[in-house]
Amino acid sequence: MSTEENKIIVRKFFEEGPSKGNLNIANELLSPDFALHVPLPAPPGIEGINEVITSCRAAFEHLNVTIEDMIAEGNKVAVRFTAHGVHKGDFMGLQATGKPITMTGIEVFRIKDGKIAELWGEANLLGLMQQLGIIPVPENQS
């Protein structure tokens, strides 16, 4: 597959999965042996990504994930994203604060045979915890 075709697959995943909560997209776009590497507690595979999407959408009302940059080379696609929402439900044991959030992150996808075979994700969880008031913001960053 071309890098442009790989980017289309990843864009569709972001638009349908995290932003709309369409869990059926996993069966369409993810390989049966999909591997997930993210800094959140989740079971492996497709079950894990569906759990991450479900828990994030339950915790953050109006969750919307915007792709800021997308770069592809070979069978890999890297995405820099921004997520917006309102903390209206439990997240990683934290009770709802009602605060709006903006979280940034980067994910790298490996595509194999037209499906997402692997995802590595890093998100600014420290910044998120600061926005929710769980961790104080250092004075020079206010």
93, pLDDT greater than 90:
no
Q: What is the pLDDT of residue 141?
A: 64
Model confidence at 115, pLDDT cuts 50, 70, 90, reads very high
Q: Using alpha carbons, select from 60, 61, 70, 67 the residue that is nearest to residue 16.
A: 67
Q: What is the mean pLDDT of the chain?
A: 93
Per-residue pLDDT tens digits for 34-60: 999 998 888 889 999 999 999 999 999
Complete domains list, the chain, with CATH: 3-137 (3.10.450.50)
Most distant CA atoms of the chain, gap in Å: 49
C-beta of residue 89 within 8 angstroms of C-beta of residue 96: yes
Q: What is the pTM of this model?
A: 0.91
Tell me which amino acid residue 28 is: E
